[in-house]
Amino acid sequence: MVQPATKRLVTEATLPELAQDAFASMFRAGTNVTFTYDDAANTFTINASGGGAGTTDPEIVRDTIGGALVGGANIQVTVNDAADSITVAVTGLATVATSGSYTDLISTLGTASNPVTNASAARPTGIPKVFWQCSTQPTNWVAGDEWINNA
């Protein structure tokens, strides 16, 4: 014989308790998350552990940055996990000046003080306005360049 379900009298006084019990039974803890229902205090507490808590793991940050940096032409990126460092280096240069002023360390070919004198020379890179000084119009001359005809 099937027993009838226990009936509870729901009143204004018992309704909040029944609602709280139903609410607490709906939740299940998961990875690094716990739920605590305190029936006597009528409180429901959610706790989280591991990660979070407003902290950032420096190792994860370095690994993320190291993975995002990509070397281009003549640039090498080296991640040293053991030393907790990321090194960005210039590679593939035949000669590197080690002394002198800043202007001594950069190429001045194609500037007003050092114009290109060979009309068939390659156009210098990195200079928006190239100065040419030759007897025929330069083959690599572009609009904006300055050509001084010394014919």
pLDDT at 113 over 50: yes
Closest by CA position to 88, among listed 118, 104, 66, 62:
66
Query: What pLDDT score does 104 carry?
Result: 46
Q: CB-based contacts of 86: which residues, under 8 Å, 6+ apart?
A: 62, 65, 66, 69, 77, 78, 79, 80
Higher confidence at residue 9 or residue 89? 89
pLDDT digits (tens, 9 = 90+) for 119-150: 888 887 777 888 888 888 888 888 888 888 88
Averaged pLDDT, 97-121: 66
Q: What is the mean pLDDT of the chain?
A: 77
The answer to whether 138 and 147 have CB atoms below 8 angstroms apart is yes
Other residues' Cβ atoms within 10 Å of the Cβ of residue 114 = 13
Tens of pLDDT, residues 44-93: 788 887 765 566 788 888 888 888 888 877 788 888 888 888 888 877 66
Measured CA to CA, the distance from residue 92 to residue 112 in angstroms comes to: 29
Contact indicator for 25, 12 with CB cutoff of 8 Å: no
Cβ(138)–Cβ(121) under 8 Å? yes
Where does the chain have alpha helices with state H? 15-25, 58-68, 102-105
The model carries a pTM of: 0.30
pLDDT at residue number 102: 47
